[in-house]
Amino acid sequence: MTALPPVLLVGGGRMGSAMLAGWRERGLASAIVVDPSAEAGRLAGSGVVVVPSFGVIPAGFTPEAVVLAVKPQAALEALPAYGRFAGRAVFISIMAGKTMRSVGHMLGTKAAIIRAMPNTPAAVRQGFTVAVAGAHVSPPQRALGEALLGAIGELAWVEDEALLDPVTAISGGGPAYVFLLTELMEQAAVEQGIPPALARAMARQTVIGSGALLAASSEDAADLRVAVTSPKGTTEQALAVLRAGHAWPEFFSKAIEAATQRSRELSD
């Protein structure tokens, strides 16, 4: 496996640190993490140096990729200085709601920018990322972006940046919906008299196991659902309640629509 070239990571929070862990597993040559928090120090070691600000990045450090993982509200203040790397490095932005046009205004209009939306299972290298490459991204830079983003799970490319709004609603927020389902299953189990510890274990492992089955199967999710649903059985009874008046499908569709619209509102 070819070692990854030097990377500059701006922001060592939950997603940034998850990405760094994935890169280390892929043979990261060296990296600098810019993060002023005391917690960021834990990321240092094995070729990774943590610094508190742009101003103390060693002068000779020349990254081939700059990954922008700061909070979107901090972007305008934090990012313009990194424009000095435009022309050599590819910039990979995982900032929700920040369009390539917006990032380009902060870094310089000629910056090579990849915009990406990963999700939190990246922490265990089971994430799903959708990315779009800007006009100035060269084929080698796109390949580097693919290597870096692919280190945290599956990666899909799109040509239309506008698709990242529904992507944010579905895969970006998707883990929260799965966690909510797990939470509700646990609560319902307790309501039926199951001890809390057992209810928690049942709900969690049912979701984990179902995901593993889905990953191992070539069947559609709908086909797997039908296979579990015996005619006139208990599961059919439960699904009849969830689907009564199209309640669950309709509300879920509305939820995704609302999240997509909010992503559009946050874009600039």
Q: Mean per-residue pLDDT for 243-266?
A: 89
> Which band of pLDDT confidence, cut at 50, 70 and 90, is reported for residue 268?
low
Co-location of 261 and 194 in the same domain: yes
Q: Is residue 167 part of a domain?
A: no
Co-location of 38 and 140 in the same domain: yes
Co-location of 149 and 230 in the same domain: no
Query: What gap in Å lies between CA 86 and CA 68, rounded to an integer?
Result: 13
Co-location of 26 and 132 in the same domain: yes
Q: One-letter amino acid identity for 156?
A: A
Q: Is 130 helix (H, G, I), strand (E, B) or coil?
A: strand
Co-location of 139 and 85 in the same domain: yes
pLDDT digits (tens, 9 = 90+) for 11-36: 999 999 999 999 999 999 899 999 99
The whole-chain average pLDDT of the chain stands at 94
Q: Is residue 2 part of a domain?
A: no
> Which band of pLDDT confidence, cut at 50, 70 and 90, is reported for residue 267?
confident
Q: Is residue 249 part of a domain?
A: yes
Strand order in the sheet with 90-93: 48-51, 31-34, 7-10, 65-68, 90-93, 112-117, 127-133, 153-157
